Amino acid sequence: MRHSLIWIILVTFLFGFGFVEVGKEGPQITPVEEAYKPSLQLEGDRIRLRIEMAPKVYLYQKELKLRQIAPSQRELPLQLPPPQELHGEPIYQGSLEATIPLEALDTSQPSVELELSYQGCNEIGVCYPPQRHRFTIALPKELEQASQGQEPPQSQGLGSEEGEIVDLLKHRSIWAILGTFYLLGLLLAFTPCIFPMIPILSSLIVGSKGMTTKRAFLYSLVYVLAMAITYTIAGLLAGLFGANLQAAFQNPVVITLFALLFVALALSMFGFYEIGLPASLQTKLAQKSDAAGSRGGIIGVALMGLLSALIVGPCVAPPLAGALIYIGQTGDALLGGSALFAMSLGMGTPLLLIGTGAGKFMPKPGGWMEAINRVFGVVMLGVAIWMLERILPPGVTMFLWGSLFIGSAVYLRALEPLPQEAPWFAYFKKSVGIILFLYGLFVLLGAFTGGLSPLDPLRGVGSAQERSQEERLFQPVNSLAKLEEILSSAQKPVLLDVTAQWCTSCKELDALTFSNPRVRRFLQEHFIPLRFDVSDNSKEDKELLRRFNLFGPPAILIFVNGKEVDRIIGFIEAEEFLKRLERVVR
């Protein structure tokens, strides 16, 4: 009797307070179309979002997103009220209102199409499936006229280069696009991400026996085409699906194997062994034709070109970012891929010229040839250390660099006396050896005093206080939720540096731009500097890149009142960076 009474009281309580609805078939859950009633309305210079929720129903803040899907695709910033908290999760109940300024949208067409997504639960503990609603909003005619011929806000920024490139792809002829991207690739050929490919290709040519100008051109062409095709395919995947194939290859195992490959090439150039096909197989191939004997070499060069594109140069530059944004917005893989291929050929043109020149001007076999092989062996060891910089602590790589310089000096006999009647070249060689030896000592000193780069080995010799101040410039963030929390409460403009340990241009930014005293002082006084490291290519890293339509580092995003007002893709000089910062705080 007592248990029956308790059951009756419990059911009466749930029914009276509306936790369940009793119908002919027993307790019922409020249908999702009645639980949430969203609407979007144009009000002046902004769009107002309203979501009316039934009693005892709530939605999660992290699941509430608004995207523009036409005439272009982008995530839209929502100006939300402070949320409530339930079980540690920020939620909204009752009636929710948020606004979106029109300047955040692409208003180049008479109307915009928006997609609202959200997901929530009721207080009984039953959760609804994720919901998506599409809305079409007609824009005022004066707004449409004012935006004719202008960039969408996301690609405008304050001098956004990738925005101009997106516009180029949208409004130029195919030949103008291909020609422009070829020239852009030519300019990118000597950036830090591409420059290491020069010694790689040169070493492949110098290390091959019986090299002629014709064969050197063939090797160079195969290397460049393999690199270009790989860049194009990787770019198309990133643009269409957001899958950064190059970032996936920046894990310690792949980088270590690639570095070991360069060490093996270096040792072969030092004469420890020869890399090639077995002698019996070489003889059979040679009997068929001279050209057949080089097939294995061509396949190896093509493979090296493919791996170089994936592993050596994964940093993002404005032309690449612009092409990827265009592909992502329009889905036009043909035009976007053609532009990427033209850019890759531009990047490869200097490689083609240098590789052919290496074959044409290579000395005849003999003492000179052996010396050149030794030089390129040292270069290969340098490339291996450069690769390992992405996964090893700075002190370890500084030690390796110092050891390489000192070892090269010892090989040049810098510490041995010269005979009385030595030729001038012996004095020159010893002078170079002494310089390398001294520089190697400085780099070794830097390895034990906190140095970060062989280009500035004694930077760590300063006081511990100075080093700690430099380390405190950027506040690390490791999740999109944490970033959005800072953006929503920041009283000053926020600067977000998206970086990675394997990004060469990011290290260049650290060494030449962020280390500038004026830049540091200006950032500390006027900004909240944040840093998001995407080295691991984790789920959180991909979520951030997707949220801001980025395809990889380096990228610098600047926010005012939670809204992005400028972005910088790739490397930027300190003076130009200061000008961009000053424009934001005016």
Q: Which of the residue ranges 20-24, 105-109, 471-475 would you say has the lowest mean pLDDT?
A: 20-24
Token pair recorded at residue 252:
């310690």
* Of the candidates 171, 173, 128, the residue with the CA atom closest to the CA atom of residue 150: 171
| pLDDT interval class at 8 (50, 70, 90) | very low
Report yes or no: 106 and 155 within 8 Å, Cβ to Cβ: no
- Strand, coil or helix: 86: strand
Residues 166 and 143 grouped into a single domain: no
Number of neighbouring beta carbons within 10 Å of residue 554: 27
Residues 217 and 140 grouped into a single domain: no
Residues 141 and 210 grouped into a single domain: no
Give the model's pLDDT for residue 53: 92
* Of the candidates 246, 153, 123, the residue with the CA atom closest to the CA atom of residue 535: 246
- Strand, coil or helix: 477: coil
**Beta strands 494-499 and 95-101, pairing class:** unpaired
Residues 290 and 343 grouped into a single domain: yes
Query: Has residue 287 been placed in a domain?
Result: yes
Query: Has residue 312 been placed in a domain?
Result: yes
**Final residue of a structural domain among 113, 147, 181:** 147
**Residue pLDDT, tens place only, 293-324:** 344 567 878 888 887 777 776 676 767 777 77
- Strand, coil or helix: 105: coil
What is the percent of the chain with per-residue pLDDT over 70, rounded to a whole number?
Answer: 77
DSSP 175-187: HHHHHHHHHHHHH
**Residue pLDDT, tens place only, 520-576:** 999 998 999 999 998 887 888 888 888 887 878 888 999 988 888 888 888 888 898
Give the model's pLDDT for residue 132: 87
Residues 358 and 213 grouped into a single domain: yes
Query: Has residue 338 been placed in a domain?
Result: yes
Query: Has residue 97 been placed in a domain?
Result: yes
Query: Has residue 265 been placed in a domain?
Result: yes
Residue 562 sits at φ, ψ, to 5 deg, of 80, 0
Query: Has residue 520 been placed in a domain?
Result: yes
| pLDDT interval class at 28 (50, 70, 90) | low
3-state secondary structure 201-241: HHHHHHCCCCCCHHHHHHHHHHHHHHHHHHHHHHHHHHHHH
Residues 203 and 352 grouped into a single domain: yes
Token pair recorded at residue 295:
């097939």
Give the model's pLDDT for residue 295: 47
Q: Whose structure tokens read 């926010």?
A: 559
Q: Assess whether pLDDT exceeds 70 at residue 262.
A: yes
Q: Name the strand (E) or helix (H) holding 132.
A: strand 131-138
The CATH number covering residue 68 comes to: 2.60.40.1250
The CATH number covering residue 512 comes to: 3.40.30.10
Long-range contacts of 430-439 (CB under 8 A, 24+ apart): 433/408, 433/409, 434/409, 436/405, 436/406, 436/408, 436/409, 436/412, 437/405, 437/406, 437/409, 437/410, 439/405
State mean pLDDT over 208-212: 67
**Residue pLDDT, tens place only, 65-121:** 898 888 777 888 887 888 888 888 889 999 999 888 887 888 777 788 898 999 999
Range among 7-21, 142-156, 345-359, 458-472 rated most confident: 345-359
pTM of the model: 0.57
Which comes out higher in pLDDT, residue 201 or 30?
A: 30
Type of residue numbered 129? P
Give the model's pLDDT for residue 534: 87
| pLDDT interval class at 496 (50, 70, 90) | very high
- CA neighbours within 13 Å on the CB side: how many for 211? 27
Query: Has residue 320 been placed in a domain?
Result: yes
Query: Has residue 425 been placed in a domain?
Result: no
**Final residue of a structural domain among 368, 391, 414:** 391
Residues 349 and 244 grouped into a single domain: yes
Residues 137 and 200 grouped into a single domain: no
End-to-end CA distance of the chain, in Å? Answer: 77
Q: Which residues are within 8 A (CB) of 284 and not within 5 positions of it... i.e. 6 or more apart?
A: none
**Residue pLDDT, tens place only, 159-187:** 456 666 776 776 677 888 888 888 888 88
Which comes out higher in pLDDT, residue 219 or 210?
A: 219
Give the model's pLDDT for residue 155: 39
DSSP 404-416: HHHHHHHHTTTTS
Number of neighbouring beta carbons within 10 Å of residue 577: 22
How many domains does the chain divide into? 3
Residues 171 and 314 grouped into a single domain: yes
Residues 257 and 318 grouped into a single domain: yes
Structural domain span for residue 62: 32-147
b/e map of 197-216 (b: 16 or more CB within 10 Å)? bbbbbbbbbbbbeebeeebb
Strand arrangement of the beta sheet that strand 95-101 belongs to: 36-43, 46-53, 95-101
Number of neighbouring beta carbons within 10 Å of residue 525: 9
Residues 177 and 214 grouped into a single domain: yes
Residues 489 and 555 grouped into a single domain: yes
Give the model's pLDDT for residue 154: 42
Which comes out higher in pLDDT, residue 64 or 547?
A: 64
Q: Assess whether pLDDT exceeds 50 at residue 405.
A: yes
Provide the strand spans (E) within 490-562: 494-499, 528-533, 555-560
**Residue pLDDT, tens place only, 264-280:** 888 877 777 665 545 55
b/e map of 135-145 (b: 16 or more CB within 10 Å)? beeebeeeeee
Give the model's pLDDT for residue 21: 46
Give the model's pLDDT for residue 320: 74
**Final residue of a structural domain among 362, 391, 420:** 391
Which comes out higher in pLDDT, residue 250 or 492?
A: 492
What is the average pLDDT value for the chain, to the nearest integer?
77
